[in-house]
Amino acid sequence: MTESFARPHPALTPAQRVSLDVNGYVVIPNTLTSDEVGELMEGIHDLKRELQAAAPGASIRSAKLLGNSPLHVTVSPPIEAIPAVAAYCAHPRLVAMAEELIGGEARICETAAIVNRRDPDTYRDPPTYGFHTGVDIPFGSHIKDGLYHCCFVKTLTNLTDLGPDDGGTVVIAGSHKMDVPLDQLIAAAKEDPRLIHHFVAPAGSTLLLSETLIHGTGQIRSERERTILICGYNARLMPRWDFSPWSQDFLDRIPEAYRTLFNGKQNWTRGPRYRTLDQPADTREYPRYDWKSLMEAAAVNV
């Protein structure tokens, strides 16, 4: 049997783990280098332009425009079209962070890039933010060794700097553990905006969140355009969430060691992965797979 690709364990420091448990999210600054951010920006914006120039509803290497208003564009899934996105989703430390929150082996279930700018139509007082969750607390959560886990999580990485007015993702801190009706919790948070935390970080930073946490899109009040890249992961026995399927050719080319990450595993085992709070983070660098060569070779062969 082929070994899965090597990755750190645990990925988070004890302090980051406590922050994740208390708030339902943690921000890890500078997970990507400026070269990686540059490559992702170029790939995403090129693909966005290609899709906008194509016929409505067209798909390019599985990617489609899910939203295409002048102020808010969502490209999903960009993983097959852009090798740097595949590299991001398979980044050993980011996968390990997701697995730490899941409490078991992860599979990629959703990928999307969002490009948006200031939209005065969404300005309400108080703002609505499009608050939502991806899984309910009783089904999605479990506790092991006193630490919180959720079977559906996301890494959201900002490719543009996010200051307080730049529309970073918003969350209702701690809502991942409060199994009360969403509308009641949202109303309570709006009474005291300090309960709503904003993702503010330099480009190339990652927000890891539990999908039981109430979250939404922040309001852009500056003139800066925001670009973010999202990878959703769930427990390896769960299905994909993406609306548009990946091609069989792409799936066939995934190296053996990454098959579970990309395809999941169709049986009732979940590869538990747990840490205790006192374990220090594994800070070693792990090898990165060369997705560019793999996917460029695939493109030549098409």
Ligand X SMILES: O=C(O)CCC(=O)C(=O)O
Minimum Å distance from CB 40 to ligand X? 16
Minimum Å distance from CB 169 to ligand X? 3
Determine the residue type at 124.
Answer: R
175 forms part of the interface with ligand X (CB under 6 A): no
Contact region with ligand X (CB under 6 A), list: 9-17, 188-196, 210-218, 287-295: 210-218
Site for ligand X in 135-154 (CB under 6 A): 154
Minimum Å distance from CB 203 to ligand X? 14
215 forms part of the interface with ligand X (CB under 6 A): yes
For 213, phi and psi rounded to 5 degrees? -80, 135
186 forms part of the interface with ligand X (CB under 6 A): no
Residue 147 or 227 having the CB closest to ligand X: 227
Among 111, 155, 217, 227, the residue binding ligand X under the rule CB under 6 A is 217
11 forms part of the interface with ligand X (CB under 6 A): no
Among 16, 169, 234, 260, the residue binding ligand X under the rule CB under 6 A is 169
Q: Per-residue x/- marks for ligand X, 242-281, CB under 6 A?
A: ----------------------------------------
Tokens found for residue 152? 């559906």
Minimum Å distance from CB 264 to ligand X? 20
Site for ligand X in 36-75 (CB under 6 A): none
Order of strands, sheet of 205-210, starting from the edge strand that comes earlier in the sequence? 25-28, 205-210, 152-158, 226-235, 106-116, 72-76, 64-69
Contact region with ligand X (CB under 6 A), list: 28-36, 45-53, 212-220, 233-241: 212-220
Among 86, 114, 214, 220, the residue binding ligand X under the rule CB under 6 A is 114
Contact region with ligand X (CB under 6 A), list: 213-221, 256-264, 280-288, 289-297: 213-221
230 forms part of the interface with ligand X (CB under 6 A): yes
Among 216, 238, 262, 281, the residue binding ligand X under the rule CB under 6 A is 216
SS3 string, the chain, reads CCCCCCCCCCCCCHHHHHHHHHHCEEEECCCCCHHHHHHHHHHHHHHHHHHHHCCCCCCECCEEEEEEECCEEEEECCCCCCHHHHHHHCCHHHHHHHHHHHCECEEEEEEEEEEECCCHHHCCCCCCCCCECCCCHHHHEEEECCEEEECEEEEEEECCCECCCECCCEEECCHHHCCCCHHHHHHHHHHCHHHEEECCECCCEEEEEECCCCEECCCECCCCCEEEEEEEEEECCCCCCCCCCCCHHHHHHCCHHHHHHHHCCCCCCCCECCCCCCCCCCCCCCCCCCHHHHHHHHHHHC
Catalog residues that contact ligand X under the rule CB under 6 A.
Answer: 114, 154, 169, 215-217, 228, 230
